[in-house]
Structure 1
Amino acid sequence: MIKIVVSLFLVRIMFMGMQQEDYGFWALMWSIFGYAVLLEFGLGVTIQKKSAELMEHNRIHQLSKLFSTYLAVYFIIAVMIALSTIVLSFNIESLFVLSDTEKVHEYMLALLVFGLGSAAAFSLGFSAEILVGLHLLKARNLVNTLFVILNAVLLWQCVVWDQPLHIFAAVAVATQFLNNLLFLFVAKHHVRELKFSWKLIDFGDVRRSMQFSLSAYLIMFSNIIIFRTDQIIISAVAGVTFVGLYQIAARVAELFRQFATQFHESLGTKAAMLNARSDKEALSSLLMHSNKIVSAVATALFIPMFLFIEELLMLWLHINDAQTILVARILLVSMYVLVVFRSSMVQVLLMNNKHIELMKIGLLEATVNVILSIILVKQYGMVGAAIGTLLPNVILALFYNIPATLKYSGVNIGEYLRGYLFPFAAVFAGTLYLGYLLKGLIVPDAIIKLGFDAVLVMLVFSLVYGIFTFPKEAELLYKKIRRA
């Protein structure tokens, strides 16, 4: 929640305090170096899975070998990122449509700083994966929160002092590097026997894990394409200026995802531990019950965001552009479908060696997404890119993810519809309608009113959903309240 609030203020400060093309290039840099994680070839998920399994069996020496090996591997990949950055920065004019040619050198320097700094931060990026695998999510989130706040304060000062773009880049990558460095100290503090040694490096372990890593890599590759490529396609077809508006619309969906998927990280490591015990029954139960929790969290946030997105963009960034508002709604719906009907199953199945199947589905979705985006952006601009993201997402949710979830859990379609989907849909529709009526009664023309409306809608949904979905828990809570 802190990250979301800080992001809301920071995006507003930067969007309104920077020139539109400068902000567009800033968003473009984040999109480009979002692809840097592809160079880790899925090793991050491998680290999470293996470290969770090793801790489950208390094999600390093997954990040190894992630590040492992937520190070396990530350093090698960081060198590759640095070299690629140098090549990219000297070809900036030929790759992107820049309306202000006088800023080419400034953008080149910013790209160079951002890329080299990202390489340095990436070299320690495995540390976050170690913490997730060790189930130290509280410690990791605390460190992340501190650096999110520090990064926001420093970038705010850059806007206040009207700093050039390369200073913004230096601040962003420096805070990320220090963040990852502190992760290493946290891991060492919690597992004191953990150590790094050149003698423990075992590249053979990387080779033996390569099938799982490459499958996880291709799944991640498809996600990067789905969520990052739209902005690059728009910059090449329509110009960098439009990237900033699309990034704002996408930012709303991304903030929703950050909040709604916090549960997924602990779900993945728990699934890996249960897989190490070969407890299939517990895994099936975990999958079905976690979906109810994910649905509750995601929907409680989605409904007010969808209803009040127009007012939010106006009060937040003074944006009343109809196309940007429509794009934000489409991307928000797409992200909601992904979180509620797909993400939980992917987390569990990936940690249970179903990576080949997930890889094929991910590559299919990414391919369709890119083709649709290229075709539709030429005809409909930003809206076309958003539709290209939504359509394959919805189709796969209906015809792959939901059936696969039921098959894996041993739940028949009738039980799923009666026990989950129909009650959920009824509560969703009822809350959406009540929220629409509320919007007409209390016009959210100020931040305080907007927040009041949003919280009220969230409370209504949470109360009704809890009664319908968790009747036994709701009855116990009611009895406690009466006794009190």
Structure 2
Amino acid sequence: MIKIPIVKNTLTNYLSMGVKLLQGVLVTRWLIAYLGEEYYGLWALLWSFFCYSLLLDFGFGVTAQKYTSIGIFQQDLKRYNRIISTIFSFHAVMSLIILACTVAASFFVVTLFHLDDTPAERIEYCRRCFLLFGIGSALIFPSGIFPEIMVGLHKIYQRNYVIIVSKLLELAGLLLVFACKGELLLLISFTLVLNLLTNLAMLFYIRPAIPGFRLRLWISREVFREIFQFSGFVYLCSVARLLWGRVSPLLISIFCGLQEVGFFQIGSRLPNLMNQLTGPYQENITPISASFYAQGKHRALSRILVNSMRWNSFLSSGMMVGIFVFAAELIRFLFKVDQPLVLAICQLMVVSLYIGLLFRSIPERFLLMAEKHKLLSWITIWESVANFAACIVLLQFFNITCVVWAALIIKVFTTVFFIAPPMLRYLKIGVWKLLYEICFRQLAAALPLVGIALLLETFAAGSLSDFWLLVIGGSSGGLAYVGCSYWWVLSADEKRFFRRKYLTRWRQIWRQWKGGRR
């Protein structure tokens, strides 16, 4: 029952990601061409500015996902409705705060948007855009609970269908607005209304899945105290991660200068891409962990977690090795940069991210839903403080690679001493057995990729451009990794399933095609 949603969820997550990337590129190009760089900058700034309103969620989105995953609506529907109504009502109160802040900040748009020498008419137009965006964001904010409920119901694929349709409608709507000579205010109105309708569309999937689902504008103090014991610690984790992500470039700027900030950002691009490409699979683990743990299905959950770490390792090991060995060519081809410092940052960050993906991403999602949220929050806060302190000290004596080294050492320390012990106790598996299952086999499958990179570097580096080195090395190395993974990573049962489900079908298609040609 679980495997089918996992496959659907993961594939539609990747499809949704692809649609979002394509839509983002097209929208950016169209907006710059139609609005001009100045109003496009206003559009981007508005989105960036109101993204901070997500901090007012206070971890209640994940809380709604957890209480849905553990099936409280099946055991006590009235209590579930009180919990979701409390969260929805709290978000409605936060919407009033967003609205109040929007109105107050609208009097300072000249300072916020640096409009000192701008005509009064344009200043007023920017103020109206700001007010409209803020009011729309306030209206949308409470409805953000519905996608979280969809995740809790293991209906990620249905949520993705709605999002994909929404993004395609947004593209069509923008083209219509451009054709009608509409201005930025119309674009903002259309986009905000579409986002609200997208969230509300989730209700069509939620109501059949939860018969008797009801929402009321009502906050229960008792329920609020209960759920805040979980959501508060989730919120602390989110804030700690956000602050560290924002502070590290600032510290580099203070101690090293703007050029080093640019080097650091360029070096982080490929690791960030690797993180995005492995994320769609990991999203399945949170609701599965919550539901199985609450039902006491510990043996089944243990198998799912180990297999999830194996498959997560399959995705991340190939990408890590590929990015590491072809980092110089990728950076030169993508960013037109040939700087040893950028290369060192990229390779260090991709190794650090790899360790996090293998030993932190799945365990943290499980521990969060297995009543270890307090431990996770203190670990995250400690890591952020330790990184902050280490960078202040080290940046005075070393180059910016010390930021990545500090983060890597701190991550390994907390993983070994705080994350691994409770995870190993729950899985009831030895350290070397787990490493063999989720690390050694996948890295062994990636060795041919390293060999191909060394051969190309030795014999073809001077005669082939970076583009053709990446094409030849990436395609041949990727095929070699997949082939070796079939023999070294898959279990015997997985090989039989693959042969029965796919190889047999491909042989039938091949025979039919050959018969048709005759």
Q: TM-score band (shorter)? A: 0.7 to 0.9
1:473 aligned to 493, 512, 518, which one? 493
- Residues 317-339 of structure 1 show CA distances to partners (whole Å, capped at 9, x for unaligned) of x5436366665555444433322
Q: Which residue of 1 aligns with 2:484?
A: 464
CA distance in 1, matches of 2:477, 2:364: 29
Q: Cα 1:312–1:146, aligned 2, differ >3 Å: closer, same or farther?
A: farther
1:209 partnered with 2:227 = yes
In structure 1, what residue type is equivalent to 2:233?
A: S
Q: Which residue of 2 aligns with 1:144?
A: 163
Segments of 5+ residues of structure 2 without an aligned counterpart are 1-13, 508-518
- For normalisation by structure 1, the TM-score amounts to 0.78
Q: Which residue of 2 aligns with 1:293?
A: 311
Which one is further off, 179-188 or 335-344?
Answer: 179-188
**CA shift for structure 1 position 131:** 0.7
1:256 aligned to 259, 268, 274, which one? 274
Q: Which residue of 2 aligns with 1:281?
A: 299
Are the counterparts in 1 of residues 102 and 131 from structure 2 also a CA contact under 8 Å? yes
CA distance in 2, matches of 1:415, 1:188: 44
**CA shift for structure 1 position 384:** 6.7
Q: Which residue of 2 aligns with 1:339?
A: 357
CA distance in 1, matches of 2:183, 2:264: 23
CA distance in 2, matches of 1:247, 1:275: 39
- Residues 99-130 of structure 1 show CA distances to partners (whole Å, capped at 9, x for unaligned) of x9657969877766555443333221111111
Are the counterparts in 2 of residues 25 and 240 from structure 1 also a CA contact under 8 Å? no
In structure 2, what residue type is equivalent to 1:217?
A: Y
CA distance in 1, matches of 2:40, 2:392: 23
The 5 A counterparts of 1:302-381 are 302-308=320-326, 319-320=336-337, 322=339, 328-372=346-390
CA distance in 1, matches of 2:184, 2:66: 38
Which one is further off, 201-210 or 421-430?
Answer: 421-430
- For normalisation by structure 2, the TM-score amounts to 0.74
Which structure has the larger Rg over C-alpha atoms? 2
Q: Which residue of 1 aligns with 2:69?
A: 52
**CA shift for structure 1 position 372:** 4.6
Are the counterparts in 2 of residues 246 and 327 from structure 1 also a CA contact under 8 Å? yes
Which one is further off, 423-432 or 375-384?
Answer: 375-384
Q: Which residue of 2 aligns with 1:84?
A: 101
Are the counterparts in 1 of residues 70 and 291 from structure 2 also a CA contact under 8 Å? yes
Secondary structure, counterpart of 1:209 in structure 2: helix
1:416 partnered with 2:434 = yes
Q: Cα 1:387–1:94, aligned 2, differ >3 Å: closer, same or farther?
A: farther
1:197 partnered with 2:210 = no
CA distance in 1, matches of 2:431, 2:479: 30
Q: Which residue of 2 aligns with 1:2?
A: 15
In structure 2, what residue type is equivalent to 1:120?
A: L
Q: Cα 1:31–1:197, aligned 2, differ >3 Å: closer, same or farther?
A: closer
Q: Which has the higher contact order (CA 8 A, sep 6+)?
A: 1
**CA shift for structure 1 position 362:** 1.0
Q: Cα 1:150–1:478, aligned 2, differ >3 Å: closer, same or farther?
A: closer
Secondary structure, counterpart of 2:237 in structure 1: helix
Are the counterparts in 2 of residues 34 and 224 from structure 1 also a CA contact under 8 Å? no
Report how many aligned residue pairs link the two structures. 479
Give the fraction of aligned pairs with identical amino acids, expressed as a percent: 25
**CA shift for structure 1 position 271:** 1.3
Q: Cα 1:114–1:227, aligned 2, differ >3 Å: closer, same or farther?
A: farther
Q: Cα 1:73–1:400, aligned 2, differ >3 Å: closer, same or farther?
A: same
Are the counterparts in 1 of residues 326 and 470 from structure 2 also a CA contact under 8 Å? yes
**CA shift for structure 1 position 190:** 3.8
CA distance in 2, matches of 1:460, 1:231: 38
In structure 1, what residue type is equivalent to 2:280?
A: Q
1:185 aligned to 199, 204, 207, which one? 204
In structure 1, what residue type is equivalent to 2:361?
A: S
- Residues 286-312 of structure 1 show CA distances to partners (whole Å, capped at 9, x for unaligned) of 322211111112233444444555555
Q: Cα 1:421–1:204, aligned 2, differ >3 Å: closer, same or farther?
A: same
**CA shift for structure 1 position 64:** 3.0
Are the counterparts in 2 of residues 72 and 201 from structure 1 also a CA contact under 8 Å? yes
2:141 aligned to 109, 113, 122, which one? 122
CA distance in 2, matches of 1:410, 1:321: 47
In structure 2, what residue type is equivalent to 1:426?
A: A
- Residues 170-224 of structure 1 show CA distances to partners (whole Å, capped at 9, x for unaligned) of 67655543332222333235434322234x7534212212211111221222232
CA distance in 2, matches of 1:147, 1:59: 34
**CA shift for structure 1 position 353:** 0.5
Are the counterparts in 1 of residues 129 and 184 from structure 2 also a CA contact under 8 Å? yes
**CA shift for structure 1 position 87:** 4.9
Are the counterparts in 1 of residues 73 and 80 from structure 2 also a CA contact under 8 Å? no
Which one is further off, 100-109 or 168-177?
Answer: 100-109
The 5 A counterparts of 1:89-104 are none
- Residues 399-451 of structure 1 show CA distances to partners (whole Å, capped at 9, x for unaligned) of 433344223322222323444433333334443343454577595755x9856
In structure 2, what residue type is equivalent to 1:69?
A: T
CA distance in 2, matches of 1:72, 1:24: 34
Segments of 5+ residues of structure 1 without an aligned counterpart are none
Are the counterparts in 2 of residues 330 and 386 from structure 1 also a CA contact under 8 Å? yes
Secondary structure, counterpart of 2:283 in structure 1: helix
Kindly report the root-mean-square deviation, in angstroms, between the aligned alpha carbons of the 2 structures. 4.7
Which one is further off, 81-90 or 270-279?
Answer: 81-90
Are the counterparts in 2 of residues 305 and 454 from structure 1 also a CA contact under 8 Å? no
Q: Which residue of 1 aligns with 2:420?
A: 402
